[in-house]
Amino acid sequence: MTGSDRTPLNSNPGAGSLADLPEPMALLFDLDGTLVDTVSLRAEGWRRAFAGIGLDVDPAAILPYMGSDGRWLAGEVARAAGRELDWDARDELDRSSGAIFDELNVSPEPLPGATVLLTALGASGRPFCVATASQPGQVAVSVRALHLPSPPTITDAGHVEHAKPAPDLLLAAAAQLGVAAPACWYVGDSTWDMIASVRAGMVGIGVTTGATDSDGLLAAGAVATIPSLVGLLDDLRRRGVLGG
């Protein structure tokens, strides 16, 4: 990943409200911190994984990287802690943190509006999917916690070589849904979600339920921010995309 891939974008001067945006033809959702309340557990999984290779890392140092490609996160956080890791070591650390997270993530809670929103989208026929930088096998418990009537389409890090902030994951998700990227909204809680949405040519909707506030999401390229998915649910109902 190049230096430009690690650099947040400048503030988005055109940021506004959901009501100002064209109707989405498909919606893509990040998972951790967007649909389920798991950011703190993810950070703890990483802390323990770093401890396993002899690095004492404060979870606060991990939070700014949440939502990005885990192998890149591993390298950046390890470098800040004084150690360079090769690609194989990064990959192993990513998998280790995921395994620890699986042990910790026994009863995740959906974030406000998540289950109702995705259930309503499924009933409406409007295409949607979960697009997450997590490795395959690390998402099942969190997705089950949403209690959806049927399994959602999932695009994870196993589908692409480079996950967020590269656009590959989002473009792969749009292709799975059969919808052009510019017609999609990507909803996420992290800086890296918004950078990826810009690079994919999608409309980025920031939700402040994770580790990044509204200003940070807008600075990374979000077109609009909302405090919870309830705001998105209300907007789609107003448009007539969803039933009341």
Q: Give the residue extent of every domain in the chain.
A: 3-38+109-239, 39-104
Task: For domain 3-38+109-239, give the CATH number.
Answer: 3.40.50.1000
% of the chain with per-residue pLDDT over 90: 77
39-104 shares the fold of 3-38+109-239: no
Name the nearest CA neighbour of 39 among 57, 16, 65. Answer: 65
Q: Does the pLDDT of residue 175 top 70, yes or no?
A: yes
pTM of the model: 0.87
Q: What pLDDT sits at residue 211?
A: 82
Asked if 210 and 39 touch (Cβ cutoff 8 Å), the reply is yes
The label of the residue with tokens 């994984």 reads: 49
Strand intervals (E) in the chain? 26-29, 128-131, 153-155, 184-188, 203-207, 224-226
- Can you tell me which residue has the tokens 């590269």? 166
Q: What is the CATH number of domain 39-104?
A: 1.10.150.240
User: What average pLDDT does the segment 107-132 reach?
Assistant: 96
Mean pLDDT check: name the lowest of 27-41, 42-56, 108-122, 134-148. 134-148
